[in-house]
Each structure stands twice: as C-alpha cells, then as structure tokens.
Amino acid sequence: MNKLTNRIYLSPPHMCGSELMYINEAFDSNWIAPLGPNVEAFEKELASYVGVEGALALNSGTAAIHLALRLLGVSKGDAVFCSSLTFVASANPILYQGAIPVFIDSEPGSWNMSPQALERALMDAERSNTLPKAVIVVNLYGQSADLDPLLNLCNHYGVPIIEDAAESLGATYKNKASGTIGKYGVYSFNGNKIITTSGGGMLVSNDKASLDKARFWATQSRDQAVYYQHSEMGYNYRLSNILAGVGRAQLQVLEDRVNSRREVFNRYYNHFSKMGNGIRFMPEANFGRSTRWLTALMIDKDKVGVSSLDLLAELEKMNIEARPVWKPLHLQPLFSMYKYYSHSQFESISEQLFKNGLCIPSGSSLTEKEQNKVIGCIDHCLSSVKRL
C-alpha cells in the first residue's frame, strides 16, 4: 500500500534497503556519471546469475531490443516477427529500424507465442521471399514461452530469436534462465518489473563481440581518438552508475521476490479456484518456473455474471489498481496495417485473453491484509451479482 495515497498498486517497486549503500558509495567516490564500477559489476553479476557470457547495462529494456535488432542487421523494409500479446515496447524498436512487424498469436498453454501460428507465418514468408531477420519472442507475465518448438522452426529457416524477457527475469525454461535461450535476451528494470533500478534494462548474449559492438553504439559510437570522432550513428543508451548500484542490491533479493510473488499467486489461487471454472488462472506450463510477476485471471462473464472490466471498475472504487491483459498489438491502431497470424484459422487466443483477462495486485511487498482486501472486493462484486 502506498503510505500517501492508501492505494494498492498492481506491481510497485520494492526496495530492500541496501540500495542506499551502493548509492552512498557512488556519492562518496563522486562516481555519479556517466558509467563507473557499479555498471560493470551489475553486468557481471547479472550475467553470472542467468548464466551467460556477457551483459550490457542500458537505460531501458526498449533500448536493449533496439540494439538487438540492429545487431541482427534489421533495416528498412525487413520483416520482423513479434508476439502480439505484449506491451508496445516489444515492437516499437521494429519501427525505429524502419522494418515491418508481423504479429504472431499466443497458444493457450503458456499464453506465449504459438508454434503453429509461427510455422504458418514462416511458410508464407518463405513462399513470398520475405523471411524475417528476427523473431521477437515475449515471455509474458513471468513465464517463458515454449522455446524448443519455436527454436526448431526458427533454426530450420535460419532466423535468430530475440527473447523479450523484460517480464520474466528469474523464470526458467527447462532449467535454463529465461532470456538466455535466444541469440539475444532482454531484461527490463522499469519501476513495475520484478526488480527495478527505477528505469533500466540489460541486453545479454553468449556472443561477447556483438555485445561490444552494441556497447559502442550505446555510447554515441565514439571512435578511438582523443577528440570526438564518429563514423557510425550511435545512441545515448547506457545506464548510470547510481542506478546500476540500485540494480546490484535488487539482484541480491531477486529469488526472494520470485518466492513472494509466487506466494501472492498461490493465495489468490487457493481462494478463487474453489469457485469452479468461472475464474481461471494463467496456466504454469510444466517446462519451467514462472515468477508469477503478475497474477492474471480469466473471467467468464457467462459463469460468474460480471466481466473483467466490471471487476476492474469495482476494484478502482476501492482504490485498488488492476489492469486488463495486454491489448494485442495487432489490434492497436498503430499497427493495424500489419499482418497477424492467429493460433488457428478459427481461434485467436490473444483476443480471447484480452477480452476476459485481468491482472490484479501482485507486488512482492503486498501484505496479506492488503491481499485480503483485494480478495474481499472481488468476492463482494461476484456475490452481489449472484443475489440479483
């Protein structure tokens, strides 16, 4: 709960205290900007936590996706495939490069990219000679996509995968860390993510040489010279030494944060799964561990009498923040002119999830008392309908 507003948020920042130690250290050494020892240490510590060769600390996850696309040579007119059920930041960098997004539906088992939709899209693309330069696979709400079948397809067509693991740091896929299975992985430390630097991101890969290239672009592409000389276009994308310090402290409590979010999920699950199949939860696929970054539910209005939007409005009246499941990108006005491949010819899974899905407060700092308030509010809303 926010002390000033009494509001219960969906996924607020959760500091552990030792962030201040790293910040003070940076102040004491006057190592405020631009880079500095915390940045390098944060990169090393995160790389070792997830088990990759290298990591590049950046000022956002979006920047990390952008650099990954440029590393893969994505440029004007190229096709890039991307999960449709995601936040807009997964696909905006495709437009930065002047490339053409093609959106791929979810499958019901993980809510992540549907291998059968991807297969149809790749077959079509091969026929029309427009195979994508990259496939951006999103790991939604703390859960990995089913990467093996996706990788098999992509390997067959020689297309690299960028794993958008902005929401899934701490999750696993077949005992590997989410975000380490594609050619490039992307994490975000935005304020609502499982750990935060207030804003920031990381690009990871086992290809250290390409990370060095991205590091060069991210610092304005400064050629080696005593004066400022530039032969390539660059960006101002690096993370500051202060924020990297916050990240180092947060990384130390990541496992605790995963456990807390899973506990929050379990309490919701134990309460609402008793109510039959009018309320269903995002499934946890058996290929790995979900962090349950957000608890997402499907509300069947025919069975419980209220829609997800009715519930959202009731929660809002009690000063509780909830959000619909992401509006699929192929339904966004920004992307309406681009192609979309649904799970099957008859079924668009992401559209169903958007129509009925709701994310409810899931923060690792959510107390049982607060959670009971959320549960009570939903119970009240459901029972008042039944009485009618």
Ligand X SMILES: *Cc1c(COP(=O)(O)O)cnc(C)c1O
Q: Which of 38, 60, 114, 196: binder of ligand X (CB under 6 A)?
A: 60
201 near ligand X, judged by CB under 6 A: yes
Q: Both tokens of residue 10?
A: 């969906």
Interacting stretch for ligand X, rule CB under 6 A, among 42-50, 162-170, 232-240, 305-313? 162-170
Q: Which of 39, 135, 166, 169: binder of ligand X (CB under 6 A)?
A: 166
In this structure, are residues 360 and 295 in contact, taking their beta carbons and an 8 Å threshold?
A: yes
Q: Which of 138, 194, 242, 296: binder of ligand X (CB under 6 A)?
A: 138
196 near ligand X, judged by CB under 6 A: no
89 near ligand X, judged by CB under 6 A: yes
- For residue 12, is the peptide bond before it cis, meaning its omega torsion is within 30 degrees of 0? no
CA 222 vs CA 213, 219, 233, 235: distances in Å? 11, 7, 9, 10
Among residues 114 and 188, whose Cβ is nearest to ligand X? 188
112 near ligand X, judged by CB under 6 A: no
**Angle at 78 (CA atoms; ends 73, 83), nearest 5 degrees:** 95
CA 21 vs CA 31, 145, 246, 248, 376: distances in Å? 14, 36, 9, 10, 39
Interacting stretch for ligand X, rule CB under 6 A, among 85-93, 209-217, 223-231, 335-343? 85-93
Could you tell me which of 189, 168, 160, 141 has the C-alpha nearest to residue 43? 189
CB crowding 309-344: b at 16 or more within 10 Å, else e: ebbbebbeebebbbbbbbbbbbbeeebeebbbbbbe
- The alpha carbon of 246 is separated from its chain's Cα centroid by a whole number of angstroms, namely 20
Least distance (Å) from ligand X to the CB of residue 191? 9
290 near ligand X, judged by CB under 6 A: no
DSSP 8-state code for residue 238: B
Q: Which of 112, 188, 241, 308: binder of ligand X (CB under 6 A)?
A: 188
**What's the rounded Cα separation, in Å, for the pair 135 and 162?**
6
163 near ligand X, judged by CB under 6 A: no
Q: Which of 31, 42, 87, 217: binder of ligand X (CB under 6 A)?
A: 87
350 near ligand X, judged by CB under 6 A: no
185 near ligand X, judged by CB under 6 A: no
In this structure, are residues 27 and 52 in contact, taking their beta carbons and an 8 Å threshold?
A: no
Least distance (Å) from ligand X to the CB of residue 345? 27
279 near ligand X, judged by CB under 6 A: no
Interacting stretch for ligand X, rule CB under 6 A, among 36-44, 86-94, 108-116, 144-152? 86-94
Q: Which of 106, 112, 190, 356: binder of ligand X (CB under 6 A)?
A: 190
291 near ligand X, judged by CB under 6 A: no
**What's the rounded Cα separation, in Å, for the pair 329 and 83?**
8
Per-residue interface string for the shown chain with ligand X, residues 226-265, x marking contact by CB under 6 A: ----------------------------------------
Q: What's phi and psi for 325, nearest 5 deg?
A: -60, 150
List interacting residues with ligand X (CB under 6 A): 60-62, 86-87, 89-90, 138, 164, 166-167, 188, 190, 201
